[in-house]
Amino acid sequence: PPRAAFGTADIVARQDEIPTGPFDLITVFGVIHHVPSEARRIALVRSLAERLAPGGTLAVAFWRVEGDDGRRRVDWSHVDDVDESELEIGDRLQTFDGRLELLRYTHFANDAELDRIGEAPGLPLSGRFEADGGSGVANAYLLWTRPGTE
């Protein structure tokens, strides 16, 4: 679209690098499951919601616990300096394409976490649904819409 803009920023460590907007649509797909800690995920969603224009929508995709078939999951002993007591329910260490030299942190959200995140931005949740994968519930999608001006 002619008004669309794309950019790059470390939106976890440097939320001040996110353009201020306001935006009619913000989408976050393939990102949130790599953000460590629920507190950071909530902070990111809140920060993005603040950048919505009146009537604007924020759409965020979450990997679901139900979609975690465990095929790529590996033990945390494969990485140094991880205090497993600090890990949260749903935190995983996974290979990328089954290769141990390509490990990545991932997080699979459960219903309780999605409920908390759904309330976090203080905006009406305009949609929530599950889709994708063989089970049809591998991802959860949350959509918030900022009320428009009257």
Can you give the pTM of this predicted structure? 0.89
Q: Look at strands 52-63 and 139-145 and give their pairing.
A: antiparallel
pLDDT digits over 19-46, tens only? 888 999 999 999 999 999 999 999 999 9
Contacts of 63 (CB under 8 A, 6+ apart): 33, 106, 107, 108, 109, 138, 139
pLDDT digits over 48-102, tens only? 999 999 999 999 999 998 777 778 899 998 888 888 889 999 999 999 887 888 8
